[in-house]
Structure 1
Amino acid sequence: MNSRLTLTCLFLGISFHISSCFDPISLGAGAAIGVGSAVIGGWTFVQCRIFECCNSRWVNTNMTGLASRLESQLYGQHLAVSTIAKHISAHMRNPNPTKALGLSFQGWTGTGKNYASQILAKHIYRNGMRSKYVHLISATREFPHADKVQQYKENLKQWIEGNITKCERSLFIFDEMDKLPNGLLDVIKPYLEYYEDISGVVYRKAIFIFLRTLDAHVLFAFTSNTAGQDISQIALKHFHSAQAREDLQLKDLEKEITRATVNTQKGLWHSELVTKNLITAYIPFLPLERSHVKECIVDVLVDKGYLKSRKERKEKADLLNTIADELIYYPNDEKIYSTTGCKRVAEKVDFVLEDI
């Protein structure tokens, strides 16, 4: 068989029977099978150079630089940065982890929970959030009806199993945990357990991230017994003690976050993920101070081309203050923390720039 035909077979793929490419008379059965395997292997190699595959070209297990990447992009979240980096690095570095990684990100709106998830996706997957191995699940969009929990459970079960079968290193991000129907997450329990495999499929290399945000009306009331509330109270007490924000340690918050997660009436409430201790870590996202909001404003101004680089921020100090003044802060008498974190910064930048 001439070399041109061989190359044609390799690059066109296996869309036709192997006998279309190789003369069965000139090859023995064993040789034909061997050549067929080579063709398939060759096509897989070429295909995975172009299209996303579950291999080291597309899924990065080297977490060098993750901590610095998180630190440079997540403002005011020293606890989250260090904790996330350690857990993700340990899990991805291990070729045979004992269980899937389950992380719960908790805190006020706009503090960086979703953004942290995006940073992780970009660091691990070559295609970032567009990767077919990254799955974002919005509670309000995917599970809007509390009376359909059984149907949702079956759908979620099939969906997780199908995706992890395609790639063991899949990432699942559950947004709006506080709005999930009660009991839904129990279906995830087997995939976060310490099982070697389930029906021949290994789930231990997957990552599950649960994002939990405090409702805005609770924020203004400042009385609810929730994880977000506890984080804010502890942070505020620490602030009043005149200690550096960075001196606040995870152990100062971990107990309260876990307790509040069990007591809340939504999402993880009474879920076996909590009662069976299957969540690897509860990670607090602290409320953002005015200085952190300004960092986000600088990012938006650079993205919009209004600033050429972050170095120009000193020349635009008045503008930064004007934009920061457009946001609401609490407590009312001290105005220390932004009620919306950095979430509304982009629209406030647009609003202020309209008058310039």
Structure 2
Amino acid sequence: MEISAAGRLEVRITAADVGKRVSVRRLSEPGVTEAKFTDTVGVLTSWDNGVVVITRKSGESVRIAESSLVAGKVVPAAPARRRGPAASYEELAHVCARAWRPVESERLGEWELRAASGFTRRANSVLPLGDPGLPLDGALDVVRRWYGDRGLPAYVQTATGAEGTQELLCAELERRGWVREVTAEVWIGALAPVADRTEAAAGGVVLAREADGAWLARYQRKGVGEVARKVLGSGPSVWFASVPGEGAVPAAIGRCVVDGRWAGFAAVEVDPEQRRRGLATVVMAALARRALEEGASAAWLQVEADNTGARALYAGMGFGPHHAYHHYRGPEASTT
């Protein structure tokens, strides 16, 4: 916390610091004799009418009464990861987008409007990197019309928690009634340790360039039709992995997209009756070895915050969180 020369805590932030990363301390129970303090670190996203709003790395917005602040200062951006590949948010956002392409897209300035008949939010949401070329209200009007013309809800995909992410845009969407429906995280790590997993050395994984009917039968997404096949098959260099099961349906599957130095893992799924046998590791190791052969050295994947099993698996492989991403759904169009 910021301390003056006289040894007192001071609030050294103002409304002019909106958009900067800050650290503040506040009275958590104002008015009590024995004061208790709460510290909050994140991006200052607004300071209006005596209320300070700070957006944490997770995307959670914390509202703080200005009168309860006892200290505050601007702080440097979150420190870079000490292990694994270095990566900016913008680089990862483009890599992730290339690995999960829509069947239809259109530019709105530097934003990309994406649609795939409703198959996954990632393929049916706006990727708002840069300037849309219009004031925000006008851009969001275009977004809602574009998705409405296709019979789809309007979604905007945003990110928080890394340098260059979109905490301010999140705050502006929330002010306009957009609702955050889903939050997940992008994790990154070195690729070689995944390929070197000793328990995966036995092999037994079948790799293919296309998802066949057996692979799709194990895939848990609903509504897997022609559009889904196109999305799943999109990307610079796509590989599908299967571990044969006792019947026609594989015991485990996975998908990997190789894009330059990056290998992106997705759709790693295991027969519920065969979980905790290392099959997910077997699948990822086989895909990682193929990605290494194609020149990749870094890996990324997406995992939901409440998927504790997957998070433990990926952490054990050397992955760690880079940033959080969110899907905001637009308010329903007025019927009046």
Which category of TM-score, normalised to the shorter sequence, fits these structures? under 0.3
User: By percentage of residues, which structure has more strand?
Assistant: 2
Structure-2-length-normalised TM-score: 0.25
TM-score, scaled relative to structure 1: 0.24
Larger radius of gyration: 1
Report which of the two has the higher share of helix: 1
